[in-house]
Amino acid sequence: METSLPEHIREFGRVAQDRFERLGGPQESSLPAERDAARRELAAAALTEIGAAEFDVRHDPEDRLAGAVVARAAGAALLPYPVVEELTAIDGARLSLVDPRIPRVDHGDLGGRWLLADLDGTAYTATLGPRRPAKLGPFLVAAADLTPAGAVTRADLALHLILQSWRILGALERVLEITCDHVKARTQFGKTLSEFQFVRFTVADAGVTLRGLEELAKFSISRWRGDTDVVGWTDALMLRIKAAEAGVAIMRTSHQLLGALGFCDESDISVIDRHLQPALRLPESVEALSLRLAPEVGAGHVETLFS
């Protein structure tokens, strides 16, 4: 079975990543953006330059695939901007998925309109507070005064979960690349870390996890429809759970192999890990998402190799 993306979509993804990386990546773009809001304006300009603002990810399959590779490229370059929230905007308002009990919005301090929604489909307007300095999730802001404002369709929720998983995929690919470069260069007891069997097996496991996530991401985006029913919703939940679990596993592997260096902001690993936490943990934990998936499994909505 041919599971590769169309060549023109892959080429667009390469163009998007090249444009994003010209901003400087974690060290010259994301890290300074924690202190200088102008850095995020540069990220917004880069998205506009590649035409992402014109995507119709809900109605055009080509735009939907392009949106997926843009989200992946944004993750790989750690673009300090709410890319998925803009791609899934509703009537010009960025869509952010939240837990209404503890509502937090990544990049919520940016100007413009926001629409919040929980995974039950209830939409909210809210007052978004100022950004406070924080190590984990440095762009998170608290939301208050949540007021129900209609509903968001299950299809829109599913699309957001899918595209966020593509963003996580891109970030984890960059993490594994950095880790591989480190174990090839770092020497211990007279040989590089990559020559130790334990290290080889550990990196191989991470690579297999990542490739599995990639295939599931392509499968899920290919099956999404604007009239998504329980099957599309189930796909999105499964992908989002897989993305979060892969993120925890691969970040753990990276920190294990880089040691103390991985916890210093002089290393891209530290910056990626801190900025990726909201995507991995919001709007709900893996455990909560699994509880949502369980009834779908019981109802026979999960497709497998076996009838």
Task: With cut-offs at 50, 70 and 90, classify the pLDDT of residue 230.
Answer: low
pTM of the model: 0.95
Specify the DSSP element, H or E, that contains 169. Answer: helix 154-185
Q: Which of 158-162, 258-262, 280-284 has the lowest average pLDDT?
A: 258-262
pLDDT given for residue 273 in this prediction:
95
pLDDT tens-place string over residues 63-82: 999 999 999 999 999 999 99
Helices 154-185 & 230-258 angle (0-180, nearest 10): 20
Q: Please say whether the beta carbons of 95 and 120 come within 8 A.
A: no
Mean pLDDT of 172-177: 97
pLDDT confidence band for 109 (50 / 70 / 90): very high
One-character DSSP codes across 129-145: ------SSSTTEEEEEE
Domain boundaries, the chain: 7-87, 94-152, 155-298
Q: Which listed CATH number (3.30.230.10, 1.10.10.410, 1.20.140.10, 3.40.50.1010) goes with 155-298?
A: 1.20.140.10
Look up residue 244 and give its amino acid. Answer: A
